[in-house]
Structures are given as C-alpha cells and as structure tokens.
Amino acid sequence: MTDFPTGLLFEEAMAIVAEVAAAHRLDSETLSLGRSHGRILARDVDAGLPLPPFDNSAMDGYAFRHADLSGELTPLQIVGEQFAGLAGDWRLGPGECVRITTGAPLPAGADTIAIKENVRLDGELALIPACQRGHHVRYAGEDVREGERLLQAGQVLTPARVSLAASLGLSSLEVRRRPTAAVFTSGDELVEPGMPLRPGQIYDSNRELLMGLLRADGLEPTAWPRLPDDPRQVEIALRDAACAFDLVFTCGAVSAGEKDHIPAVLGEFGRIHLWKVRMRPGMPLLFASMDQARMLGLPGNPVSVLATYLTFGRALVDGLQGRSEPRPTLRARLVGGIDKTHPRREFVRARLRSDDAGVLWVDPNPATGSHRLRAAAESEALMVVPEGPQQLGEGAVMEVWPYALG
C-alpha cells in the first residue's frame, strides 16, 4: 500500500497519468460519419481524389476563352448552358461562350468566367468585359492533391474535419472507442438535491459537476449510488465498477480522515500509481488501476473536483483515446497582483476579458477556498500560479486553462 509515488510535483504526476493512459489505449471502432463527430481519429486519412475533383466555375455567369477578348467589351456567341452536376461535353470554339452555374465543370477550351451581373446581353451575344485570365475558375486539386495526408490518427474530429472526410467520399471513419465511466460521490453528510436537509448535512453538488464535465468531453458517464462512509460497502461498489468500466471517478474520502476509505480499498484490491500532488486545490488526488479500470480519486471539495478533473481527469480521458492535440491553454496578463506563500502549484478561478488593444487579461477571484463553488461558477478559467512563493504584479503573464468559454 505504501509502494507508490506520493507528494509529486504537478508535472511528474501528469507524466504518470499520460504513461498509464498510453499503456491502456482503447481499441478502435468504425463509425458512420454522423456518429464520429468529436471522436479521436484512429487511422490516418489520405485523399483518394483531388479536391476540387475537376476545374469548375466559382460563379454564375459565362465561361469563355480569354484569348478571345479584345478591348473593353467583347461580344461572344452564347452556344449553350453548363449546369452544376452535369458532365457537359462542350468544346468552345473561337468567339464562343456558354452560360455556366457555380460549381459546374469548366467546358473544354474555356479558361475564364465572367459573372452574370457584369455581362450585358444582345440577343444571342454576351458582351464580356475585360478581365484577367482564369478569373473565377476553381482548379482541380488546388485545395487537396490526390494522395495527400489530410487527417492524422490522434486528431479530434471537428465538424470541418468530418466534412472534409465526406468531401473525399468516405462514409465512415475509424475512431477510438470512448471510455465508459462510472461516477461515485461519497460521504454520509451528503443529501440528494430536492430532499430535506438535516443539521450537519449538505447537498451533493459534485455529482452534477463531474457528470457535466465528463459529458462536455463527450462521454456518457454512469452515476452510481452515493458511497456511504463504510469500508465494506466502498470495497464492494468499487470492485464492482472496476470490472465493468474503463474509468471510475470517485469524489471525496481520499485524504486523512478516519472515514477516508478509498485509498485503503484501492491499495488492497488494485494498484496505486500515485497519491497526493503538490497542487492547490486538489492535493489528495489519487490515481490507481483496479481490474480493467483506471480509477481517479478526486478530493471531495467541489473546486478540487473541478481543478483535478480539468487537469488529470481530462488528461486521462484524452490519453486513453490517444488524443494527440493538446487542450488549448492561453497566456493572459494578470489583473491586480498575486502574493502566494505556499509551495504548491495553484489553480485559481478567474475571469477572462480582452481589451480594445487586443490584450487578454485574467482576473483572479479572491475566493480561493476549495469549497467556494460560487467563484468557479462565476469564472471561466483556471489561472496557474507556479510552484513556490510567487509575488506577481499587474500585467504579469499567466498561463490560463479555459473551462467555460462560450
């Protein structure tokens, strides 16, 4: 039970989480495009065709041979129409043009388009104004050449990337399986919202917090009944969950209290990878494996849950899926000052705003206690204050982890 690293630096603990996650990468599955949004791609995608697939018109207008133009206005004979979606077998002769719609293949011989609004008609003649050769032509392969690597395994499937796959004609993609996740809260003091509160009790707020954070990251977590402060019941519930889920999150009961049973259970029936990280909030964080599950014991204070999920929980969720793209962090200038005396890395709840000069500012909330959920609700980012004593003044450049932007 004592044979594990403890009291780690934040970066050391993150490295352990990344290493364990990589060793337990989830298998892949093939999903239809419509179901692949937000997933992590498991296999590179190469272009099986050029994009655009053929030279075509960018505008509704007239297609012609640029060499035919002379002077301000050139009358050209309208010999037909070329609509989008039809192959068309036009071959333009000298002095000829065809009506064309946006996206329609460029007729053979044509090399330039005049837009409809700029062309006057005179019977079967179109009066084409002077312009540059190639105007309004979209060339085959100018966006994507056939055979090019377009998407890489490990990338997040954003709507634009799924749409790019669709434009190549792919109807499905190989993606990483999403981890299944169980969420436990624990503590005899907790009461379900909606129920009456007796003296000494509080409402369970962590369940909604953690369920929401996981759902926002694309998971479909299962909330288990709350764990009582009873070692046998904690053991039964966690062992049960560990053989059914990829991820098990617990909140509370991981520090030094007499009723903090989770470390003992995980130590006896699983393997503890680390316990206690030099961060604030979130210091008593515990990371273990049991049966088929990776288990993250988050400290019970609500803001500790937020901070440890956004750092370690999310790294685990991403790592299991082989996500290669790091979550975006920002740099912003400090509003006011910070005078930190403790040695841990601190994650302070903060607001973000950009000024008229385009400078991003981060305004820390003074309510730093890890029970002060309101500050988290009124903020949109965690501001990182590095390890060790820190005296930072107005305008200092801070690292920021956004969690609720837009």
Ligand X SMILES: Nc1nc2c(c(=O)[nH]1)N[C@H]1C(S)=C(S)[C@@H](COP(=O)(O)OP(=O)(O)OC[C@H]3O[C@@H](n4cnc5c(N)ncnc54)[C@H](O)[C@@H]3O)O[C@H]1N2
> Which one of ligand MOO, ligand X, none is in contact with 197 (Cβ closer than 5 to 8 A by kind)?
none
- Please give the structure tokens belonging to residue 108: 């053979």
Of 50, 53, 61, 143, nearest to 102 (Cα)? 61
Q: What x-and-dash track marks residues 94-133 binding ligand MOO by CB under 6 A?
A: ----------------------------------------
311 binds ligand MOO (CB under 6 A): no
Whether cis (ω within 30° of 0) applies to the bond prior to 75 is no
Distant-in-sequence, close-in-space partners of 258: CB < 8 Å, separation ≥ 6: none
CA atoms of 69 and 64, how far apart (whole Å): 9
Among the listed residues 283, 296, 334, 381, the single contact to ligand MOO using CB under 6 A: 283
Cβ 304 to ligand MOO shortest distance, Å: 4
175 binds ligand MOO (CB under 6 A): no
Of 143, 228, 160, nearest to 188 (Cα)? 228
Which lies closer to ligand MOO via its Cβ, residue 122 or residue 258?
Answer: 258
Cβ 206 to ligand X shortest distance, Å: 3
Cβ 395 to ligand MOO shortest distance, Å: 28
* Interface positions with ligand X (CB under 6 A): 185, 187, 189-190, 202, 204-207, 251-257, 260, 281, 283-284, 299-302, 304, 370
> Cβ-closest residue to ligand X?
300
Which lies closer to ligand X via its Cβ, residue 65 or residue 207?
Answer: 207
Q: Write the CA distances from 201 to 191, 371, 388, 406, integer angstroms.
A: 7, 15, 36, 34
Residue 120 parent element (H or E): strand 120-122
Among the listed residues 112, 180, 304, 379, the single contact to ligand MOO using CB under 6 A: 304
280 binds ligand MOO (CB under 6 A): yes
Cβ 308 to ligand X shortest distance, Å: 9
Which lies closer to ligand MOO via its Cβ, residue 104 or residue 285?
Answer: 285
Are residues 214 and 244 in contact, defined by beta-carbon separation less than 8 angstroms? no
Task: Collect contacts of 100-105 with beta carbons under 8 A, ≥24 apart.
Answer: 100/57, 100/60, 100/61, 100/62, 100/63, 101/57, 101/60, 102/57, 102/58, 102/59, 102/60, 103/56, 103/57, 104/56, 104/57, 105/54, 105/55, 105/56
Q: Write the CA distances from 95 to 75, 79, 108, 193, 220, integer angstroms.
A: 8, 10, 14, 79, 64
Cβ 174 to ligand MOO shortest distance, Å: 39
187 binds ligand MOO (CB under 6 A): no
Q: What is the DSSP letter of 245?
A: -
Q: What is the DSSP letter of 189?
A: T
Cβ 155 to ligand X shortest distance, Å: 35
Region of 70-78, 221-229, 299-307, 380-388 interacting with ligand MOO (CB under 6 A): 299-307
> Which one of ligand X, ligand MOO, none is in contact with 204 (Cβ closer than 5 to 8 A by kind)?
ligand X
Which lies closer to ligand X via its Cβ, residue 178 or residue 280?
Answer: 280
Region of 26-34, 47-55, 123-131, 281-289 interacting with ligand MOO (CB under 6 A): 281-289
Distant-in-sequence, close-in-space partners of 265: CB < 8 Å, separation ≥ 6: 231, 234, 235, 238, 239
Which lies closer to ligand MOO via its Cβ, residue 82 or residue 370?
Answer: 370
Are residues 302 and 308 in contact, defined by beta-carbon separation less than 8 angstroms? no
> Which one of ligand X, ligand MOO, none is in contact with 236 (Cβ closer than 5 to 8 A by kind)?
none
**Ranges within 364-393 binding ligand MOO (CB under 6 A):** 370
Cβ 338 to ligand X shortest distance, Å: 20
Query: What HEC string does 324-384 produce?
Result: CCCCCCEEEEECCCEEECCCCEEEEEEEEEECCCCCEEEEECCCCCCCCHHHHHCCCEEEE
Cβ 3 to ligand MOO shortest distance, Å: 24
Site residues, ligand MOO (CB under 6 A): 280-283, 299, 301, 304, 370
